[in-house]
Every structure is written in C-alpha cells, then in structure tokens.
Amino acid sequence: MDADLQARLSIAALVCSALALFFSLLAAFPGLKDLLIAIRDGVLWLALLLVLGGVGFVVWQHVQRGPAPTQQAASAPR
C-alpha cells in the first residue's frame, strides 16, 4: 500500500477515534447525553467505515495486480 495513503488513513482513523472519545466524555452530562450519544455513535460508524474502506481498497489493489511474476513464469506453458 502507498505510504502516503496509509498515513492519511491512519490520521483519519485517529481523528475519528479522538472525536469519539471526546463525545463520550461529554456524554457524562445528563442534559446533553442523548444528543452526544447520537453524535458519538455517528463518529464511531464513520471510523468503522473508514477502516473497512481502507482494508477493502488494499484488497482491491492486490486483486487488480494479479498473480506475482514468479507465479506467472511457473504457470507458463513450455
């Protein structure tokens, strides 16, 4: 995977996790609890989608590359 892409995905996941922690700490206040819980859950879903999307993109890259050159040479007809 491209190092720049990996760094961006890591930073995005870190930001989403930090936001989720922030909102979960704020959820301790009873008056804002329902609203902040909904926002926290949305942030957690977004983080999950980012992680799954990143994993799916990496798998898609590997599938698009096809078999390794050594496998192609071994399976070539003689």
DSSP sequence for 11-75: HHHHHHHHHHHHHHHHTTSGGGHHHHHHHHHHHHHHHHHHHHHHHHHHHHHHHHH-S-HHHHHHH
* Pairwise CA distance, residues 65 & 32, whole Å: 49
Q: What is the mean pLDDT of each run of 10 residues along the chain (78 residues)?
A: 81 86 75 79 88 88 77 60
Write down the pLDDT at residue 20.
82
Range of the domain at 50: 3-75
C-alpha 73: how far from its chain's center?
35
Number of domains in the chain: 1
Write down the pLDDT at residue 58.
86
